[in-house]
Amino acid sequence: MLRFLLALFNGLWRSLLAMFGFSSSQPALTDQIEVFVRTNTGEKVSVSLSTSWNILQVKKSLASKLNSTVEDLRIIFAGKELPNDMVIQQCDLGHHSTLHAIRVVAKENQQQSSSVSNTDTKTKDEVKTATISEDTVKNVVSEMPPSPSSKEEEPCLVSPDPTPGSSRETRGTCNRLLCDASTIITIQMSEAEQRKIRELKTNDGFGERPHFYVYCVRPCNTVRVGKLRVRCSTCKQGALTLHRDPCNWQDVLTPGQITATCETLHCTGSEAEFFFKCRDHETSGEDDTSVALYLVRANLPQVSCLACTDISSPVVVFECPDAHVMCLDCFVTFCISRLNERQFLHDTRIGYTLPCPIGCQNSLIREVHHFKLMGDNHYERYQRWGTEEAVLNAGGVLCPYPGCGQGIIPDEDCRRVACLNGCGYVFCKLCLQGYHIGDCHPEDGNGPNMVENSGMFNVDPTRAASSRWDEATSLAIRVTTKPCPKCRTPTERDGGCMHMVCTRSSCNFHWCWVCQTEWTRECMAAHWFG
């Protein structure tokens, strides 16, 4: 009977773990992992742990290696001191992750503050460890100092855990871990969204698990599930304890939002610095970080994509008030099609970016790493065009020499521009032709070969010889296109009426193909269709 109850309890515990995303989300192949342990005095040792161990067992195995005692060690991971009864599996600890071991003697001053919350853990520790191996724990009385975070008031007005009946309140000194589902949900969602999710959860089971997503440049080169980590903004070490839990993206992405106590010897740092790691590859060290794609979320409420109408996960959730949702595939197609039509917008603060596909106000994508999802080739093109757009918006010009395109910010009052760091071509700022004295003649075309008699033509002859193909291209452009009267972007008319709209989204000038001036009612009356 007792055995049956135990089995039942065990099963319940497992399902609780699964509910919080602890168990299967980690690609743990065996339950043995090798982790690095760094001490506040600079030592670094590597230890092999079983994921089923609790922290007390970790301390025991560390004590001899670090020449310390179990009572004198505190284990810190991801901004939290881990309580003795916590099991490794719960901590989002991967192969080659780094734990921080603090020798309590180093910071005496925190000893006295423990009282109420600690007794709870103490008794629990004794009970729990005793059941595992009675003989070894006789004199291990955990004299754990409390983490400073337990003394802080919870600053967010959200309930600490979105799922009722959690096991979390029994944990004593430690608040939420950074890897907890509740932390992820709190950071990613507004209170209203959280409420909605809670309703859904109670209605139909567990569904998806929340995750952070990152763009892992190396080695994965794709979007991956990410792990939130924290370090001291001064010494860049992870041996610090947070004074409060992050509760929104601003806390995580803006430096200096959350204070912390750094345990590294001689470090006076007091600010937490959050960063992300890719969960799919074994970490290659502390610099192996990734950029958070904060618009990408697990599709917990099962919203269908606005383009393909399928329900998938993860999805991109735009920042517009309606929080429009697109699946990753459609997001990529959307970005590429906008890029092909050169319809990205140049924003002075954000850079080259896109709004929500519906065109909602204030929905520009602020983290341009999201465009990495387009793949390397498109992203390279995105970067080039973004730079060009930035140059043009800053009042600059692009060197018109075929194949050059160097961005130049010319002097304001001078029409003569020399491509000094590029091909050396000297041209007129106004008509983008070879530099000339006197008025511009736009009908002369825009190839450099048209201005040979200007006397100011200044090109390396070997370069000219190697660019025949470019010349042919330039000829083709000259024959088939007309420049936008406002920004001079060569424009091809591939059918339709004479009413042109500049293809450069930041220009958008309405002009007449026949008059090559602004589109008017007169153009409409006289030669709308030619």
Partner 1 sequence: MAAGLPRRIIKETQRLMAEPVPGISAVPDESNARYFHVVVAGPEGSPFQGGVFKLELFLPEEYPMSAPKVRFMTKIYHPNIDKLGRICLDILKDKWSPALQIRTVLLSIQALLSAPNPDDPLANDVAELWKVNESEAIRIAREWTRTYAMGN
Active site residues: 497
Answer yes or no whether residue 515 interacts with partner 1 by CB under 8 A. Answer: no
Q: Which of 23, 22, 63, 34 lies closest to 184, judged by CA?
A: 22
What is the closest distance, in whole angstroms, from the C-beta atom of residue 189 to partner 1 in the complex? 22
For partner 1, which residue of 307, 320, 345, 450 counts as binding (CB under 8 A)?
307
Answer yes or no whether residue 308 interacts with partner 1 by CB under 8 A. Answer: yes
Instruction: Using the minimum distance from each CB to partner 1, give the nearer residue, 181 or 330.
Output: 330
Answer yes or no whether residue 55 interacts with partner 1 by CB under 8 A. Answer: no
42-to-71, 217, 239 alpha-carbon distances in Å? 20, 30, 11
Tokens representing 53?
């161990």
Tokens representing 41?
């005095």
What is the closest distance, in whole angstroms, from the C-beta atom of residue 304 to partner 1 in the complex? 10
Eight-class DSSP state of 113: G
Contact 247, 187 (CB under 8 A): yes
Residues 312-371 that bind partner 1 (CB under 8 A): 324, 326, 330, 333-334, 337-338, 357-359
Answer yes or no whether residue 15 interacts with partner 1 by CB under 8 A. Answer: no
Eight-class DSSP state of 150: G
What is the closest distance, in whole angstroms, from the C-beta atom of residue 355 to partner 1 in the complex? 10
What is the closest distance, in whole angstroms, from the C-beta atom of residue 510 to partner 1 in the complex? 11
Q: Where are the beta strands (DSSP E) in 3-52?
A: 32-39, 44-50
Rounded to whole angstroms, how far apart are CA atoms 214 and 291? 5
Instruction: Using the minimum distance from each CB to partner 1, give the nearer residue, 469 or 528.
Output: 528
Using the Cα atoms of residue 19, residue 22, residue 25 and residue 29 in order, give the sign of their dihedral: negative
For partner 1, which residue of 34, 199, 310, 492 counts as binding (CB under 8 A)?
310
Contacts 24+ apart (CB under 8 A), 446-453: 446/400, 446/474, 446/477, 446/478, 446/483, 446/490, 447/402, 447/471, 447/474, 447/475, 447/477, 447/478, 448/400, 448/401, 448/402, 448/474, 449/474
What is the closest distance, in whole angstroms, from the C-beta atom of residue 508 to partner 1 in the complex? 9
What is the closest distance, in whole angstroms, from the C-beta atom of residue 301 to partner 1 in the complex? 18
Using the Cα atoms of residue 14, residue 16, residue 17 and residue 19 in order, give the sign of their dihedral: positive
What is the closest distance, in whole angstroms, from the C-beta atom of residue 333 to partner 1 in the complex? 6
Q: How many chain residues touch partner 1 (CB under 8 A)? A: 21
Answer yes or no whether residue 449 interacts with partner 1 by CB under 8 A. Answer: no
Determine the 3-state secondary structure of 165 from DSSP.
Answer: coil
Answer yes or no whether residue 529 interacts with partner 1 by CB under 8 A. Answer: yes
Answer yes or no whether residue 380 interacts with partner 1 by CB under 8 A. Answer: no
For partner 1, which residue of 306, 316, 374, 423 counts as binding (CB under 8 A)?
306
Answer yes or no whether residue 220 interacts with partner 1 by CB under 8 A. Answer: no
Instruction: Count CB-CB contacts under 10 A for residue 259.
Output: 15
Determine the 3-state secondary structure of 488 from DSSP.
Answer: coil
Answer yes or no whether residue 501 interacts with partner 1 by CB under 8 A. Answer: yes
Contact 316, 331 (CB under 8 A): yes
Answer yes or no whether residue 525 interacts with partner 1 by CB under 8 A. Answer: yes
Residue numbers at the binding site for partner 1 (CB under 8 A) = 306-310, 324, 326, 330, 333-334, 337-338, 357-359, 496, 501, 524-525, 528-529
